[in-house]
Amino acid sequence: MADIECDLLIQAEGEDGKFECHAFSGIPAARRSWIALVSSGSSAGRKRVGELRKELEALLLGSSPTAARTTVPCPAAPEEMNPADYPKRRKVLALVGTEDRPLKALGWYDRWQSDGDDSAVMTVLPPVPFDRVIDPSVASEPPHLLRRVNATFYREKIAETLPALLARAEVTTAQARVFISYRRVESLPLALQLFDALTHEGFEVFLDRFSIPPGYDFQRRLDQELADKSMVLLLESKHIRVSKWTQHEIDFAKRNRLGLLAVTMPGIPEEDRLASISFDGRLVLGEEEFKGEPVPVADPDRGGAMSDQWPELRDAARVVAQLKETHAAALFRRRHRLRADLVAELRDQKADVDYADAGPLTVRTSTGDHLLWLATRPADTADFRYLHTAHTARTPAEGSRAVIVAPQAALEPDRQELLRWLSKVSACLAFDEGDLPGVARRIAKGEWK
């Protein structure tokens, strides 16, 4: 069977139990994918599917100026779909559970769980005990698929599950990485609370108190950690401007296309807030959300004057939910900007670029047809493996190269050495996205050393 001609296919169950398919193009996705959103069959479950579809499609349509959606005939019903018939895309079955009708052990679910056919099953569940949304027949059988797959839960809005869903579909990177920027004297208790909450939600979180070993160059490690992350979570306290490190982190985020979300402490007038982060959003906290009043502490950066240190939040769920949504949008925005900027530079060099929003780029020059993979954070083993597989599968002509473009400049020597080793063993060249004009010139002219 021929593959579907779109970047992403979203297949969702409607309130009447019938399925509708929307094809998306112009999405800055890492892979072409098919996501099926299916309930257990109740009205409440179908309503949740509808909510998740709306949130997902709004995020996709906002991911780039070229994003577009069309209604298309569904290639197959979820219970009849054979993953092997669609070998060139990732397939994910998202089962949305509700308490009123727990998910049952339906045999066709297993067809979607196939490593060989690049297909997977995941469950999207409300914040209730697992046995209340999974049928007893499943709960009593530990090896069953619905017990084996790790569920993604939401607390307030089902949109909180979007980062996990997009990562499982490999539309975005599988690693959810966040850098917490803050002033210890004003925000340490909150920073520690969010570090713990986000870590338990599956995020890889940088917090300077835990993440930089003794003896390392602080600024160099800081820049490496920033380059590894998808976004910065800024705890905007009253005297945030006096911290040179916080300003450095904000500048790095803006310069390198990272997402940026401000969580603003109570009592900061609008005119005193950082205007540089307003585009990416701000979540203003109220005094009633904290466990108590702020405590005055001596502030060494202000000559020993007293500053308010806020305690932990009563519940960090609102911050975590907002961060999840912002994080998913940031991944798309960063990938779109990187691809668009590199394509523009390549065309300035008179290279012929097959622009594809999803997957690698193909660049034709006098030296060959080259395959380019763009990573929004420093390349790792998965990037090299994916590009090597794609490059060798196309039986490239003599002179054709596989090239990874990703951040490199901030990497410490051990990471640089690992990058060189991966490049050698995979025969994939690695260029730094910090110099896109230079990268484009080298590819156009075949300057590989």
Q: How confident is the model at residue 76 (pLDDT cuts 50, 70, 90)?
A: very high
User: Which burial class, exposed, middle or buried, applies to 347 when counting CB atoms under 10 A from its CB (0-12, 13-18, 19+)?
Assistant: middle
Q: For the chain, give the percent of residues with pLDDT over 70.
A: 92
70 compared with 330, residue with greater pLDDT: 70
What spatial distance separates the first Cα and last Cα of the chain, rounded to whole Å? 42
Look-up of token digits 């992350």: 229
d(CA 405, CA 429) in angstroms, rounded, equals 9
DSSP at 171: S
CA-based nearest residue to 261, from 244, 242, 276: 276
pLDDT of residue 1: 43
Burial 406-421 (b: 16+ CB within 10 A, else e): bbbebbeeebeeebee
What average pLDDT does the chain have? 85
- 75-89, 297-311, 410-424: least confidently modelled range: 410-424
Three-state SS string over 408-446 comes to: CCCCCHHHHHHHHHHHHHHCEEEEEHHHHHHHHHHHHHC
- 37-46, 126-135, 309-318: least confidently modelled range: 126-135
pLDDT of 363 above 80: yes
Look-up of token digits 């080259």: 370
Q: For 357-380, what is the mean pLDDT?
A: 83
Q: For 5-23, what is the mean pLDDT?
A: 93
Task: Find the Cα–Cα–Cα–Cα dihedral 425, 203, 411, 438, rounded to 10°.
Answer: 80
DSSP at 2: P
> Tens digit of pLDDT for each residue in 383-439?
888 888 888 887 767 788 899 988 887 677 888 889 889 999 898 999 988 889 999
d(CA 386, CA 361) in angstroms, rounded, equals 13
Q: For 125-134, what is the mean pLDDT?
A: 89
Q: Find residue 72's DSSP bridge partners.
A: 21
In this structure, the number of other CB atoms found within 10 A of the CB of residue 88 comes to 11
- 128-137, 241-250, 340-349, 350-359: least confidently modelled range: 350-359
pLDDT of 449 above 60: yes
Q: For 239-259, what is the mean pLDDT?
A: 82
159's CB contacts (< 8 A; 6+ apart) are 51, 52, 55, 321, 324, 325
Token pair for residue 21?
């398919």
pLDDT of residue 330: 78
- The model's pTM is 0.73
Coil, strand or helix: which one is 88? Answer: coil
The DSSP annotation for 62-77 comes to TS-TT-EEEEE--SS-
pLDDT of 212 above 60: no
pLDDT of residue 392: 84
Q: Find residue 119's DSSP bridge partners.
A: 91, 114
d(CA 257, CA 330) in angstroms, rounded, equals 8
Q: Are 359 and 31 in contact (CB under 8 A)?
A: yes
Coil, strand or helix: which one is 315? Answer: coil
pLDDT of 151 above 80: yes
Measure Cα distances from 312 to 195, 205, 315, 319, 325 in Å: 12, 18, 8, 12, 22
Q: Does the structural domain 177-326 have CATH classification 3.40.50.720? A: no
219 compared with 382, residue with greater pLDDT: 382
> Order of strands, edge to edge, in the sheet holding 352-354?
352-354, 361-365, 368-374, 402-406, 428-432
Backbone dihedral region of 350: left (phi > 0), alpha (psi from -120 to 50 degrees) or beta? left
7's CB contacts (< 8 A; 6+ apart) are 24, 25, 26, 27, 29, 32, 33, 357, 358
Measure Cα distances from 269 to 207, 222, 273, 275, 309 in Å: 27, 30, 7, 12, 17
Can you give the length of the chain in residues? 449
Sequence ranges of the domains in the chain: 8-171, 177-326, 349-445
